[in-house]
Amino acid sequence: MALHLVYRSYGGENKKGRPEYFDKMACLLSFLRSAHEVDAHLVFVNNGPIAEDRVRLMRAAGEIVDLPGVGVHESYLSALRLATHGTWDDDDVVAYSEDDYLYRPEAFPALVRAAAVVPEADYFGLYGSNPLQPHPRPDPPVHRPRGWVDPPPWQVDGRDWVRLYSTTATFAGRVGALRADQGIFRFCTVPHRNMFRDHDTCLLYQGFEPHSYRKLARDLVGLAPGTPKERLREAFMAPFMVATNLRSHRRRDRRRLLIAPEPNLATHVEIGYVAPGTDWATVAEEAHEWGRGLVEEPADS
């Protein structure tokens, strides 16, 4: 089993609320520090111009795929195609990372061990909110799918790995599963222009309906909470959500399994979505310290 690490970077910034310790260099260094602990093939997918100090680190660590400032869908699908359209073996594991995540040093070694010890798992989330211990985020509670069961944790080197509803576009999976499920990943980029439905993606490949029909009926008739514009948006989205629920029925006889460590070994660095159980400000500081010699500009010859 080979490990491939695919790091997706965006040249711009967004308007997400960030804690004080967030910066993209810290995120990249934390990724590289954990990658340094495993035998892995690294690929950096850069969408638009990336700061030269980060590009220099990427060039030294692996190969770079440059995208000419494409939309978020094409960036996402381009990274997926590295695994599904390439020569990587079905038994290999590929881990995708966005550029606003921090990693604990043991993240990738733990992933390698979990993939070996839990062969029934198809997908892995180093970051993810499980049904029993959700992240302290501002969203309403996630719908519990009909038929969902919370099995006992899998023990891997003294660490609990638990079944997840979903994770984000920062996830890992076995290449064979990802190749077979690529239609689901494409399906869940519709109908949005600048986002994809990662929660729906994860529940679809696990064979569960992501959405409550009671909520969808409310939304469809314009009774969703919020402003008139928000109610109109939910009414527009409702038919797509119904189609998503129906799509899940096609996976009932071949459900995938998604697991993640508890506590999480990575975090999305956005206020309200930071994984509990770790002092992430210290992780960011230690990543900078680890990479101090790497980041310094080389002396002129």
Q: Give the residue from 201, 5, 209, 166 showing the smallest Cα distance to 97.
A: 5
User: Is residue 198 one of the residues assigned to a domain?
Assistant: yes
pLDDT band at 206 (very low <50, low <70, confident <90, very high): very high
User: Is residue 247 one of the residues assigned to a domain?
Assistant: no
User: Is residue 110 one of the residues assigned to a domain?
Assistant: yes
User: Is residue 11 one of the residues assigned to a domain?
Assistant: yes
pTM for the full model?
0.92
**In percent, how much of the chain has pLDDT > 70?**
94
User: Is residue 157 one of the residues assigned to a domain?
Assistant: yes
Taking only the tens place, the pLDDT of each residue in 155-205 is: 999 999 999 999 999 999 999 999 999 999 999 988 877 778 899 999 999
Determine the pLDDT at residue 16: 79
User: Is residue 146 one of the residues assigned to a domain?
Assistant: yes
7 CB contacts (<8 Å, ≥6 apart)? 28, 31, 42, 43, 44, 45, 58, 96, 97, 99
Helices and strands counted in the chain (H then E):
11, 11
**How many domains does the chain contain in total?**
1
Rounded distance between C-alpha atoms, residue 96 and residue 272, angstroms: 22
Full residue range of the structural domain in which residue 260 is found = 3-208+255-295
Tell me the CATH number at 95: 3.90.550.10
pLDDT band at 301 (very low <50, low <70, confident <90, very high): very low
Taking only the tens place, the pLDDT of each residue in 50-104 is: 999 999 999 999 999 999 878 888 889 999 999 988 889 999 999 999 999 999 9
Handedness of CA 198, 258, 18, 61 (dihedral sign): negative
Per DSSP, 138 falls in state: S
Check whether 15 has a pLDDT greater than 80: no
Nearest-5° angle of CA 221, CA 223, CA 225?
A: 145
User: Is residue 41 one of the residues assigned to a domain?
Assistant: yes
Helices (H), the chain: 24-35, 52-61, 72-84, 107-117, 175-180, 182-187, 198-206, 213-220, 228-248, 280-290, 292-295
Q: If DSSP codes are grouped into helix, strand and coil, which group holds residue 54?
A: helix
User: Is residue 39 one of the residues assigned to a domain?
Assistant: yes
